[in-house]
Amino acid sequence: MPDRDGGAIVVWQDFRNNADPDLYGQRISASGASLWATNGVGICAVAGDQQSPCAVPDAGGGVIVVWEDLRTGSDIYSQRVDDNGNILWRPDGEPVCDDVMVQVNPSAVCYQDGVVVSWVDLRNSPTTGHDIYAQRVDSIGDRVWASNGVVVCEAPDNQIRPRITSSADDVVICWSDFRSFDSRIYVQRVDSSGTCLWSSNGVSAAIDSGGADNAQMVADGNGGVILVWEDYRNTIVTPDIYAQRVDVSGERQWGPNGVAVSTAIEGQWGPELVHDSYGGAIIAWEDWRNGGPYLNHDIYAQRVLADGSLDSSTGVDGQLPAFSQIRLDRIYPNPSASDTRIEFSIRAATDVVVDVFDVRGRRVFSDTIVDAIRGGNTYSFTTSQRYGSALPAGIYVIRLTAFGMSVSRRLVLVR
């Protein structure tokens, strides 16, 4: 994962101590130098396997690591490491869920001053199969919700492969679901108290997918999410790539069955996506159309616009997409130690609201740019503008709103 200074923090399984793998981590500078202890910092070396690590940034430039832990069964544990490589929680990690049954496949996202984790849970396997649970962990490693997590989905049969992202003030979790025999993609929104906000056991991303798996997800910038997955509706052998946008209320926006991103011959696999800053997404995948399963595995990509249509344009310099009203072009410098320039473009003159939020979702600054001009604009944000005192170092979100549409981007302040 990237750090806040242009480098990266890497976490891996390590067999240096014995046959049971442990977890180690290292921070790499922007120039490629190792910043922590030689050969890495031990994150967890307790007896038993530590596996499937998931790393997310914390609010102070460090990392929170979540993993499957086999010390007493199969549980979910976590650890926080600061930007200097110091272990902040108990040496062997803090339990996220240590129920007597099996917990596997954790997925995590940074949330306020801690992390929210989702996983596959077998505690109810005799009745409902594999379920999806979640837990919020605060900045000191304490569990915020019920001691062993809250139920996200306990529909009949199995739910597997959860993915989680943050959207507005909540988190959204998606997973592969076998309640209808063939796998479908479902999604659920969970608020800061651990309450599920959409339909019980989740909302289907596509009513008639005919088999779907390996979903990935990103926030759409307007409180909802965009999902992409491998889809077998057109063939039971090789998948195509489909996508869906679900709004803040849990309503499907791209039709009842999503939109086809690619239905080329021979199959498309392993989709990944990023938000395009205009309410759509750019999706990439492994593609077999030019050689089948044994030759010429290529990488293809497609942009899907906010309305679910596929972008076939080559792009024109200085022009905004027809569906977009506001674009956040650049925040500079970022990271910033003092004044920050926000460069944005709008399609017509209007007032633009500038809001700044901290990692807890609190609005720490707000201003209105009156009669911003059509085209490119620059706004100078001084980090001491909050009540005349400087904002502390940390991660912030800058949000611009105009024409009923919002765009956001992260700002890192350093002191």
Q: Which domains can be identified in the chain, with CATH numbers?
A: 8-304 (2.120.10), 326-413 (2.60.40.3080)
Nearest alpha carbon to residue 189 among 128, 254, 109 = 109
DSSP string, 47-85: SS-EEEEEEEE-TTS-EEEEEEE-SSSSEEEEEEE-TTS
Confidence of residue 346 (pLDDT cuts 50, 70, 90): confident
Phi (first) and psi of residue 127, to 5 degrees: -110, -45
Res 153 pLDDT > 90: yes
In DSSP terms, 413 is beta-bridged to 336, 394
**CA 171 – CA 414 distance, rounded (Å):** 27
Res 309 pLDDT > 90: yes
What torsion do the CA atoms of 83, 220, 203, 181 make, to the nearest 10 degrees? -80
Do residues 375 and 346 touch, judged by C-beta distance below 8 A? yes
Pick the residue with more confidence: 395 or 144?
144
SS3 at position 128: helix
Kindly list the strands in the beta sheet with 22-28, ordered across the sheet, starting from the edge strand earlier in the chain: 8-14, 22-28, 41-44
- The average pLDDT across 54-78 equals 95
**CA 233 – CA 238 distance, rounded (Å):** 10
Nearest alpha carbon to residue 405 among 340, 348, 343 = 348
**CA 277 – CA 351 distance, rounded (Å):** 19
Confidence of residue 326 (pLDDT cuts 50, 70, 90): confident
**Cα atoms in the Cβ-side hemisphere of radius 13 Å centred on 242:** 25
At position 262, the amino acid (one-letter code) is S
Nearest alpha carbon to residue 24 among 5, 41, 47 = 41
As given in the structure block, the two tokens for residue 184 are 């479908």
Quick one: DSSP state of residue 205? S
What is this structure's pTM? 0.77
SS3 at position 127: helix
Phi (first) and psi of residue 23, to 5 degrees: -115, 135
Highest mean pLDDT (candidates 182-186, 308-312, 383-387): 182-186
The pLDDT tens digits of the residues spanning 219-250 come to 998 899 999 999 999 988 889 999 999 999 99
- The average pLDDT across 177-187 equals 92
Phi (first) and psi of residue 126, to 5 degrees: -65, -25
- The average pLDDT across 313-322 equals 42
